[in-house]
Amino acid sequence: MNSLCVLFLLPFQLAGHATLIVVCHNWWYGRLIGRRLTDAVQLIHLALLVLMPFLFVPILWDQYPFVQLIGQYYSYLSLAGFGLLIIVTIVRYLRIVPSEVVCLGWEHLNPQSYLGHSGSGPGWRGRLAMIPGNDVLHPVLRRYELNLGSLDPLLNGLKILHISDFHFGKTPTREWYQAVMRMCGLESPDLVLFTGDLVDGLAQHDWIPSTLGHLSASSTSVGILGNHDTWYEPKMIERRLRNIGFQMVGGSVLQIQLRGKPICVMGNELPWRGSQPVVPEEFKNQFLIALCHSPDESTWAAQNGAQLIFSGHVHGGQIRIPLIGPVIMPSRYGRRFDSGWFRIGKSLLHVSCGLGGSQPVRWCCPPEVTMITLRGSGHDQSC
Ligand SMILES: [Fe+2]
């Protein structure tokens, strides 16, 4: 292979190499592995990402025959990885939003107007959050209408607020979350659904009443925990959420009453916690909602009759590269369930980008909360 050919192929090989590492990383990160192993896997993948491109350097091939042998095979593999990137990206563009979903638009919440300051925390995290282009402090409210033909007329117009992945930590501040939740409260949701990952530290347990308490005091609120919660006294988090009015459904099924109609909500915190709940026969004809922290559990929820499934966990990838989309996605399905709406069998799945993240970095992927209004067939458009 002449040097001109090597130079021409190099960008595609590097892109393909990065794709292979990311695919491997996402697969591992979507599995049940301990926190230490998760950190180790991240480090290994980072090292491979940086070091393996040296296999493409022809000068090393002359000095070390084994590098040439591995390098040649890995060159072909990385080109296949580039092909995979192109195919997956095209498939993503061809994705069709379920016909029941009507997007009503989105708006910036601007918690800074409440606070009078940015809401960034102290230290390097706060400084990182303030870098122009970082969306961490700029949440959006997305609005959707769901046209469900079989919806009970009494539930027509029911407003569901989906919130997820707060990751209370050092950035943004408690005041920032309080402002965002107050703005959500102004929307007067009938039902608040929280799909896990509330805290990233024991010290942040104290934030729960002052951030979510206002919302849960005025709306029926149901929640589950996420994988990060399991690292910081999950039973204590559940207790604190129950104390402010949340009904926790991890590994169980709950019947709630809204507008005089029974609605079932089931929770699934797998693969980190509990088990898949069994839906009692008498609940199977009712309107059934599933909360699954990971969208990987959405297939189970669809098979068990959930009409609506709500998930978080993947944060929309946090960094979305223009044209390509998200990269890091802790899911067995890779980038398939990144954010927004999906049809799984007869069910509709909504995956939230969440409000926070362990690392205060978001690019082309702002924090979000979602307001969903249910509509039955033949509803009055003026209501
Ligand atoms: Fe999360």
Cα–Cα distance, 378 to 145 (Å, whole number): 14
Looking at the domain assignment, is residue 383 inside a domain?
A: no
Distance 197 CA to ligand 1 centre (A): 5
Q: Does one domain contain both 56 and 118?
A: no
Looking at the domain assignment, is residue 313 inside a domain?
A: yes
Position 379 scores a pLDDT of 55
Mean pLDDT of 240-249: 97
Whether 13 has a pLDDT exceeding 70, the answer reads yes
Q: Does one domain contain both 86 and 110?
A: no
Whether 381 has a pLDDT exceeding 50, the answer reads no
Interval 326-364: pLDDT, tens: 988 889 898 899 999 999 999 999 999 999 998 999 999
Q: Does one domain contain both 76 and 130?
A: no
Q: What angle do CA 361, 125, 21 make, to 5 degrees?
A: 40
Distance 331 CA to ligand 1 centre (A): 12
Cα–Cα distance, 143 to 44 (Å, whole number): 40
Average confidence score pLDDT of the chain = 91
Q: Which residue has the higher pLDDT, 92 or 309?
A: 309
Looking at the domain assignment, is residue 381 inside a domain?
A: no
Looking at the domain assignment, is residue 138 inside a domain?
A: yes
Looking at the domain assignment, is residue 382 inside a domain?
A: no
Whether 76 has a pLDDT exceeding 50, the answer reads yes
Among candidates 237, 245, 143, 228, which has minimal Cα distance to 192? 245
What count of other Cβ atoms lies within 10 Å of the Cβ of residue 158?
A: 22
Contact 350, 340 (CB under 8 A): yes
Contact 129, 230 (CB under 8 A): no
Distance 79 CA to ligand 1 centre (A): 32
Looking at the domain assignment, is residue 181 inside a domain?
A: yes
Q: Which of the residue ranges 108-112, 201-205, 329-333 would you say has the lowest mean pLDDT?
A: 329-333
Distance 26 CA to ligand 1 centre (A): 14
Position 38 scores a pLDDT of 80
Mean pLDDT of 143-151: 93
Looking at the domain assignment, is residue 380 inside a domain?
A: no
Matching residue, tokens 């690392």: 359
Position 167 scores a pLDDT of 97
Position 382 scores a pLDDT of 38
Matching residue, tokens 């059934």: 288
Whether 380 has a pLDDT exceeding 70, the answer reads no
Q: Which residues surround ligand 1, an ion (CB under 5 A)?
A: 165, 197
Q: Does one domain contain both 142 and 262?
A: yes
Position 55 scores a pLDDT of 80
Distance 30 CA to ligand 1 centre (A): 12
Query: How many independent structural domains does the chain possess?
Result: 2
Position 1 scores a pLDDT of 58
Q: Which residue has the higher pLDDT, 24 or 225?
A: 225
Q: Does one domain contain both 294 and 370?
A: yes
Distance 293 CA to ligand 1 centre (A): 8
Mean pLDDT of 285-296: 94
Q: Does one domain contain both 267 and 353?
A: yes
Distance 33 CA to ligand 1 centre (A): 15
Structural domain boundaries enclosing 230 = 101-375
Q: Which residue has the higher pLDDT, 3 or 365?
A: 365
Alpha-helical runs (H) found in 55-144: 58-63, 65-93, 112-115, 123-129
Q: Does one domain contain both 163 and 54?
A: no
Distance 337 CA to ligand 1 centre (A): 14
Distance 83 CA to ligand 1 centre (A): 30
DSSP β-bridge partners for residue 108: 140
Position 383 scores a pLDDT of 35
CATH code, domain with 221: 3.60.21.10
Which are the contacts of 183, defined by CB distance < 8 A and separation ≥ 6? 109, 111, 114, 141
Which are the contacts of 277, defined by CB distance < 8 A and separation ≥ 6? 249, 251, 252, 253, 266, 267, 268
Distance 199 CA to ligand 1 centre (A): 9
Distance 191 CA to ligand 1 centre (A): 21
Distance 167 CA to ligand 1 centre (A): 7
Mean pLDDT of 106-130: 92
Cα–Cα distance, 187 to 326 (Å, whole number): 30
Cα–Cα distance, 150 to 170 (Å, whole number): 45
Mean pLDDT of 95-100: 93
Q: With b meaning 16 or more CB within 10 Å and e meaning fewer, what string describes 233-269?
A: ebeebbebbeebbbbbbbbbbbebebeeeebbbbbbb
Domain edge (last residue) among 58, 93, 128? 93
% pLDDT > 70, the chain: 97
% pLDDT > 90, the chain: 71
Distance 383 CA to ligand 1 centre (A): 35
Q: Does one domain contain both 67 and 140?
A: no
Q: Does one domain contain both 189 and 45?
A: no
Local confidence band at 188 (pLDDT 50, 70, 90 cut-offs) = very high
Domain edge (last residue) among 76, 93, 110? 93
Position 220 scores a pLDDT of 96
Q: Does one domain contain both 85 and 233?
A: no
Position 36 scores a pLDDT of 79
Distance 355 CA to ligand 1 centre (A): 9
Distance 8 CA to ligand 1 centre (A): 39
Local confidence band at 373 (pLDDT 50, 70, 90 cut-offs) = very high
Cα→Cα distances 210→180, 213, 229, 377, Å: 12, 6, 18, 39
Domain edge (last residue) among 93, 114, 149? 93
Whether 144 has a pLDDT exceeding 90, the answer reads yes
Position 378 scores a pLDDT of 57
Q: Does one domain contain both 186 and 311?
A: yes
Distance 377 CA to ligand 1 centre (A): 35
Among candidates 361, 380, 28, 369, which has minimal Cα distance to 187? 369
Looking at the domain assignment, is residue 334 inside a domain?
A: yes
Q: Does one domain contain both 163 and 84?
A: no
